[in-house]
Structure 1
Amino acid sequence: MSSLTGRITKNAKDLFKFLKETYMAWDRNDPFAQSAIIAYYTLFSLPSLLMIVTSIASAFIGAEAVQGRIHDEIARFISPEVAKSIEEMISNVTLQNDNWVTLIISIAALIYGATGVFFQMKKTMNTIWNVTEKKQNFKRMLINRAIAFGMVLVLGFMLLVAFVVTVLLNILTEYLSNFAPQVTVIFADILRFLVSFLFIAALFAAMFKILPDVKMGYKTTILGASITAILFLIGEQLLGIYFSSSNPASVYGGAASIVLVLLWVNYTCLILFFGAEITVQYAIVKKHRIVPSSHAKLAHTEEMEALREKEKQLEADKKKALELATNPEEEDTNATP
């Protein structure tokens, strides 16, 4: 019995130490400022992002079905008012096709706007994983935008899959309700929770795998994404209670929808970054080998190079100061016009 108690105490201490290290690392990266930045970019990226995502899914299941799905999800996560405002945003984003030059410019602007939020999120993920790019030039910027656009396509594909799974789930529950209505309700709730969990975990796994410039194993990725998904679902319930009870955007009148979007994205990013830090700390504890990509390097390498350059500069300044101190007359002569 004492041995079991000792193991439980040791595991509790290890867990507390792990969470403490995770929180300290999360706090050092200034997550509130990073979340605010991404919330700002999300506000401007949202119309373009949603238009591209809905266009991808609409090619298979129709525009009305996709927009209805997005409306329902946003209404569930945030509020019906925000869902209605975002639905109007999607309908207001159009491509001008008077001529091919205008069309190309419109498409480029649409893609640039849609990738903004993932482009910024990639930078934050690199900070969390303590890596930095070797070269930051126009070519690398285009590649990063392409990676961010890949996340947009992944989001569109996952929306399509989620819609199909939901339709199949509704058909199954309607069929089972003919035999056991009460049991079917519980069964449907459990299935919907599992579908939501798998969808969110898959999205986070894609973000952890695609966005940061590191080579990460699938085991670490899946575990980190699963923990982050659980934290997200818990946070979703808490945010729902907070929004419904305190109504934080009520004082903003017509801008209430914008405020709610900013608040929801801000809080969601805080959860996402904490989940990413858990993934990093887990990799450290388990000694998983995670290395930078070919075009990136560890951030401390760049810091060490800067320190070495600083040391060289200090040595040069010290040498010059000694020369001036031992040759004051020569310095005065050189200084005379």
Structure 2
Amino acid sequence: MNSKFSIRLHSESAKKGATGAVLLFLRLLKQSFKTFSANDPLRMAAATAFFTMFALPPILIIIIQALGLVFERNLSRGVFSRLSSTIGRTSAHQVIDTLHAIREMASNWYASIIGFVILVFVATNLFKIIKDSINQIWKIRMIAKQNFWKTMRGRWQALIIIMLTGTLFCIAILAEGMQTYLSDELVSLLPGLADYLNSIFNYGFSIVFVTAWFVILFRYLPDGRPLWTVAIAGAFFTSICFNIGKIILRLLLLQSNLNNFYGASASIVLLLLFVFYSSLILYFGAAFTKAWADYRETPIKPKTGAIRYRWSEIHEE
């Protein structure tokens, strides 16, 4: 971030009261949008949405297979519940049907092993797309040569993130069970406020759940390492935008009568559009994280083998 912008931000933060905070936030949004729009976000979101269509069922299979021994039935129901609350029941059913079709393809042990390797390859490709996109927004890239082992290390890193996502799913399942218990208690104690308090709990937990996932993503996936405070602040902002956007997108997409245009494939189109717009929110959140890091004068540090770069115009005489 240039020094003039940094000085303006610090002058805004020096102002007292809520006005200074609002002006600072608006400045950060302006810089974030400038960074966001300069990196061809439509292309990045389109690529992310395309690869998600192929990677989502393998990711779910990996999560369910790895963690299903502990949460056998509840995990499957919890995954479907989470998908339904995010993308709608129709699209969730489409994803689950694809998941079942893939699992039935493995008829013996060696087919299962080969299938699992393919699933890992497809699933981790999505995270490579996200990683490269965030690297581009943060202006960080690797300069060290990528040999086979470094490439495999990146795949394992993406696989670990998938497993952490599964862990968050398990926590979500446990939280839903706790919510059911608390809901029954609230109905008996405060019948008039039970629905209202349940809505607050659902939204609050969604903020915490999504924030935790974005913290993992921003902190460990790209080739840059923001400070924990920066990663948490950026993830919290992205989580709020995602949850607000999720409500708006569901209202707009579910009422858009896509069935009239796409027929039986409407659920796939709906999922594709949802992931596309959600990807835009993710990458805008990454741009906000960079703006916040620059404002705090704690720039995102490239990891070993990576460098920070910037574009500059060349004026030919």
**241, 252, 255: which is aligned to 1:245?**
255
**62, 67, 70: which is aligned to 2:79?**
70
Alpha-carbon distance change, 224 to 6 in structure 1, aligned in 2, over 3 angstroms: closer
Length, aligned pairs only? 298
- Give the Å deviation of 1:73: 2.7
Residue 116 (str. 1) matches residue 125 (str. 2): yes
- Give the Å deviation of 1:293: 0.4
Report the AA paired with residue 236 of structure 2: S
**Which residue of structure 1 lines up, in the alignment, with residue 3 of structure 2?**
none
**Which residue of structure 1 lines up, in the alignment, with residue 186 of structure 2?**
176
Is the Cα contact below 8 Å between 1:231 and 1:271 reproduced in 2? Answer: yes
Residues 113-138 of structure 1 show CA distances to partners (whole Å, capped at 9, x for unaligned) of 12121121111111111111122332
**Which residue of structure 2 lines up, in the alignment, with residue 156 of structure 1?**
166
Alpha-carbon distance change, 132 to 253 in structure 1, aligned in 2, over 3 angstroms: same
Is the Cα contact below 8 Å between 1:133 and 1:296 reproduced in 2? Answer: yes
Residue 104 (str. 1) matches residue 116 (str. 2): no
Alpha-carbon distance change, 140 to 245 in structure 1, aligned in 2, over 3 angstroms: same
**94, 102, 105: which is aligned to 1:93?**
102
Is the Cα contact below 8 Å between 2:290 and 2:300 reproduced in 1? Answer: no
Query: Residues of 2 paired with 1:6 and 1:106: CA distance?
Result: 60
Alpha-carbon distance change, 60 to 7 in structure 1, aligned in 2, over 3 angstroms: closer
Query: Residues of 2 paired with 1:168 and 1:9: CA distance?
Result: 40
Query: Residues of 2 paired with 1:235 and 1:226: CA distance?
Result: 14
**Which residue of structure 2 lines up, in the alignment, with residue 332 of structure 1?**
none
**Which residue of structure 1 lines up, in the alignment, with residue 205 of structure 2?**
195
Query: Residues of 2 paired with 1:67 and 1:99: CA distance?
Result: 23
Root mean square deviation of aligned Cα: 2.3
- Give the Å deviation of 1:99: 4.8
Query: Residues of 1 paired with 2:211 and 2:22: CA distance?
Result: 26
Q: Comparing 217-226 with 283-292, which one deviates more in the overlay?
A: 283-292
**Which residue of structure 2 lines up, in the alignment, with residue 226 of structure 1?**
236
Query: By percentage of residues, which structure has more helix?
Result: 1
Q: Give the secondary-structure state (helix, strand or coil) at the position aligned to 1:181.
A: coil
Is the Cα contact below 8 Å between 1:209 and 1:216 reproduced in 2? Answer: yes
Q: Give the secondary-structure state (helix, strand or coil) at the position aligned to 1:60.
A: coil
**274, 277, 282: which is aligned to 1:267?**
277
**Which residue of structure 1 lines up, in the alignment, with residue 32 of structure 2?**
22
Q: Give the secondary-structure state (helix, strand or coil) at the position aligned to 2:189.
A: coil
Residues 88-114 of structure 1 show CA distances to partners (whole Å, capped at 9, x for unaligned) of 1121122635354x4432221111112
Is the Cα contact below 8 Å between 1:42 and 1:116 reproduced in 2? Answer: no
**Which residue of structure 2 lines up, in the alignment, with residue 258 of structure 1?**
268
Is the Cα contact below 8 Å between 1:215 and 1:293 reproduced in 2? Answer: yes
Residues 178-230 of structure 1 show CA distances to partners (whole Å, capped at 9, x for unaligned) of 22222332222211211111001101111011111112211111111100000
Report the AA paired with residue 240 of structure 2: I
- Give the Å deviation of 1:249: 5.4
**Which residue of structure 1 lines up, in the alignment, with residue 10 of structure 2?**
none
Q: Comparing 207-216 with 241-250, which one deviates more in the overlay?
A: 241-250
Q: Give the secondary-structure state (helix, strand or coil) at the position aligned to 1:177.
A: helix
Residue 299 (str. 1) matches residue 309 (str. 2): yes
